[in-house]
Structure 1
């Protein structure tokens, strides 16, 4: 989120993304490399950290 003066007003911008949808392929790869159980645990930790931001 950002705000900057512009002329007689203020320019305001917000940038956002839906990260959990992007994590699907990453979780899949880790699931194959580390095993399903460890991959699911990794995905949950990443989703929790992402939600905290």
Structure 2
């Protein structure tokens, strides 16, 4: 059985030097589009992205 939400991210992991966070993007959609977008687009932010498959 394959679990998929098509081309939508279904879980985000965000880490700092002190803490790790798992984020449900379905419940925080508006916050991700507004607040997190600014941080991701900041050239001073180290961003590591990987693809996953079931």
User: Quick check: which one's strand share is greater?
Assistant: 1
Higher-helix-fraction structure: 1
TM range (shorter): under 0.3
Larger radius of gyration: 1
TM-score for the superposition, normalised by structure 2: 0.27
